[in-house]
Chains A and B, each alone.
Chain A
Amino acid sequence: QLQLQESGPGLVTPSETLSLTCTVSGDSIRSGRSYWGWIRQPPGKGLEWIGSIYYSGVTYYNPSLKSRVTISMDTSKNHFSLEVTSVTAADAAVYYCARDPPGTTGTTHDYYNMDVWGKGTTVTVSS
């Protein structure tokens, strides 16, 4: 059974770097042409897609965060990671990781949806 688990510090100092890891069990992050994504949710607000890494290692980032975000993968540990630099209070949120695999074939490309999510980890930004 596929499971994703986020881990990392729950408290980050303003202007420092937020680092989180998503450990995947039950599937290989290099198989199945999946994207592996990071999504966050500030308190009381909606979901914000941060970025994704394709199984091949290609990355895609939300344009509004691109200058501060890096997503990487470690196939030997079967996990992928998120770094957000120069954090402020606006980066405080629940951070989720999710698998985004291809499903049926569509007219131009496969249909993808985020079918398995981690439970989320809360990050607070404070000195």
Chain B
Amino acid sequence: DIQMTQSPSSLSASVGDRVTITCRASQNINNYLNWYQQKPGKAPKVLIYAASSLQSGVPSRFSGSGSGTDFTLTISSLQPEDFATYYCQQSYSAFRSFGGGTKVEIK
């Protein structure tokens, strides 16, 4: 099975900051990588699919990059509504797996 490792597990940032979250896969997954945002008490919502494609309706301040085993989610200018937990997930294998999550908190 494919293990997904995210870092950091949490971070503190201010509105307007540029934020970067990384995700590493235990094997080559090409670009079969999705990013989700989850707010407290809510189901996750997909932000990025295929490593760098923006899901319809998602603000352009979110972007994704990477291929192979190393991936990045970037928020170019953090907004108040972006304080949440972010997860990566691989869809290379039918045996799906998620990263451990990165909680973005207000500094």
Contact = CB atoms under 8 A, between A and B. Distances in A.
Interface of A: 35, 37, 39, 46-49, 52, 54, 60-63, 96, 98, 100, 103-104, 106-108, 111-115, 117-120
Interface of B: 1, 30-32, 34, 36, 38, 43-46, 49-50, 53, 55, 85, 87, 89, 91, 94-101
A46 B94 contact: no
Given A47-B98, A63-B95, A106-B30, A113 B87 contact: no
A49 B98 contact: yes
Given A111-B49, A113-B49, A46 B100 contact: yes
B94 A49 contact: no
Contacts, number: 75
Given A103-B50, A107-B30, A112 B91 contact: yes
A60 B94 contact: yes
